[in-house]
Amino acid sequence: EGKPGGMDPTEAALAFALGLYRFERYRRRDAAPPRLVTPGADEAQVASLARACALAKDLINTPANDLGPAELEGAARELAGRFGAQIEVITGDELLTKGYPAVHAVGRAAAPGREPRMIEITWGEAGRPGVALVGKGVVFDTGGLDLKPSAGMRLMKKDMGGAAHVLALGAMVMEARLPVRLSVLVPAVENAVSGDAMRPGDVLATRKGLSVEVGNTDAEGRLILADALTRASELSPDLTLDLATLTGAARVALGPQLPPFFTDDEDLAAAIEAGARKASDPVWRLPLWKGYLASLETEIADLKNDPDAWAQAGAMTAALFLQKFAPAGAWAHFDIFAWNPRAQPGYPVGGEAQAILGLFAMLKARYA
């Protein structure tokens, strides 16, 4: 049909636009990027999606000295302002009085000015189907007192990749004016080391009321997501999606290019896979295998954050932990890498947007 390589003109233009991305905050290139004019392409949609993906990549690529919790809040405020959305931010010790104790526990060790916070963006008319997007916003992960080795810490500026992804996906939804009531929920923390850091063996309260024994302070992402998912459930959404750079086990299972997702909703799983195929944005479903639930049990609390070693499947046990806090109804969890470790044409080394183009295609099919 005259499509280049069988591709839709809009898809071809988007692929080219995504391939032009460069992170230039600290190192400017003089050459102006080329611009592709593709007859028949929806240039407005291409610009919107490319701009959103560039936002995610820019946030991921920015090091933690220039992107702390406050700067992540600033990016969320800028996004809310651009689309006329509401934003509420709960910061520091106010997290305790407002019911986000796990977010506070993970982030309280950070330096002054880098306090933990809960960011909530709301957009769209009340009464429309609710869509909650929850993103892990750990701006840097030392591992806490269970300190990561140097090699494991090197890329931890990207541990807010989930937050960057839900901000970008939220931008796509708002710019397309999808008829939904959108909530973007980002717990933003630095998992730092100080005299006030949470300790192995501590028992944390959560917003849901479940107690969690901290077996390992480096399994902190699921702790902040627990409070954020509980908040999402209070909104009674039609659909909840959470994205997080959660486990190394997901990379052992599927590598850096193929993010796993988890859901027990068969219709949602099929819709996610259809959106992924349509957008050429690959994902792979892994099971929420209930046989591993026992690995989260502990004698002194409702559950623990470091599953027993016998279960082995770290990405699955993390997802099972999150499921205990997820809203009833349609929910899916994405364990993304958010990084290209190897340069390829169109994919420079550095921050990468994964799954959200496919998720946007799914959301359009579901609600538009």
- Kindly tell me the sign of the dihedral angle through the C-alpha atoms of 185, 188, 80, 282: negative
Q: Which of 158, 222, 251, 366 is catalytic?
A: 222
Neighbour tally for 158: CB within 10 Å = 27
- For residue 284, what is the enclosing H or E element? strand 284-285
Q: What is the per-residue DSSP string for 48-86?
A: HHHHHHHHHHHHHHS-TTT--HHHHHHHHHHHHHHHT-E
Closest CA to 53 of 292, 367, 350, 365: 350
Active-site annotation holder among 51, 77, 128, 148: 148
Task: Please provide the DSSP assignment of 129-180 as one string.
Answer: PEEEEEE-EEEEE--TTSPPPHHHHTTGGGGGHHHHHHHHHHHHHHHHT-SS
**Residue 148 among the catalytic residues:** yes
Tell me which residue has tokens 């099971």.
287
Amino acid present at 26: Y
Give Cβ neighbours of residue 196 (< 8 Å, ≥ 6 apart).
Answer: 108, 109
Chain position carrying tokens 């220039």:
66
Q: Is 261 in a helix, a strand, or coil?
A: strand
Total Cβ atoms within 10 A of residue 264? 14
Examine the residue annotation and report whether 108 is marked as an active-site residue of this protein. no
Active site residues: 148, 222
